[in-house]
Amino acid sequence: MTLQPLIATAGIFPSQGGGAGSAAFIGQIATFAGNFAPLGWEPADGRLLPITSNAALFSILGTTYGGNGITTFALPDLQGRVAVGADGAHPLGLTFGEESTALTAPQLPPHDHTLPGGGVTGSTGGGQPVNNDQPSLAVTYLIAVTGIFPGHGSGADFDP
């Protein structure tokens, strides 16, 4: 799934007390090591939310991740996915990639099998899918549904 990465250059994190600040930007996505969503956050699991009670978040997400745009909109679904930065080839909200793939002969590097004495080579392989998972650790992706409404700051929009 493609998301737009941002880095905070000013703000309340870390707080003067040395801990994390308590306010998040509405629509901010974070990883969390727990199996619940803290107050003001929801799991980024693709669930539908009503627009009427989540107008600020809807104004940011729209129907990029689903929903009918009249009564509902969807949160990003990052279950079993890795977030990547949005760009021209991977627009915001695009899901792509496969957990496994089956290689075909044209995808294999060119090579020869020779046998001394004119022997015969045979076919091999079972056509089974190849696992394509990178080493990973499962955590909970959360999205802030309450907090600070993100302003445009310098007014610099980006169009990946």
Query: What does the pLDDT average to over 7-30?
Result: 64
> Would you give the DSSP letter of residue 33?
S
In a domain, 105, yes or no: no
Distance from the first to the final alpha carbon of the chain:
14
Q: Which helix (H) or strand (E) holds 58?
A: helix 55-61
Is pLDDT larger for residue 11 or for residue 111? 111
In a domain, 4, yes or no: no
CATH of the domain at 138: 3.90.1340
Label the pairing between strands 48-50 and 72-74.
Answer: antiparallel
In a domain, 11, yes or no: no
Q: Is pLDDT above 60 for 19?
A: no
- Rounded Cα gap, residues 111 and 4, in angstroms: 42
Indicate the pLDDT class of residue 22, thresholds 50, 70 and 90.
Answer: low
Check: CB of residue 4 under 8 Å from CB of residue 10: no
Per the structure, the complete domain to which residue 34 belongs is given by: 28-85+134-144
The structural domain count of the chain equals 1
In a domain, 150, yes or no: no
Q: Minimum mean pLDDT among 29-33, 73-77, 111-115, 156-160: which range?
A: 156-160
pLDDT one-digit tens code per residue, 136-159 = 889 999 999 999 998 876 555 555
Q: Report the mean per-residue pLDDT for the chain.
A: 82
pLDDT one-digit tens code per residue, 48-94 = 999 999 999 999 999 999 999 999 999 999 999 989 999 999 999 99
Torsion angle of C-alpha atoms 136, 137, 140, 142, degrees rounded to 10: -50
- Rounded Cα gap, residues 99 and 22, in angstroms: 36
In a domain, 52, yes or no: yes
In a domain, 140, yes or no: yes
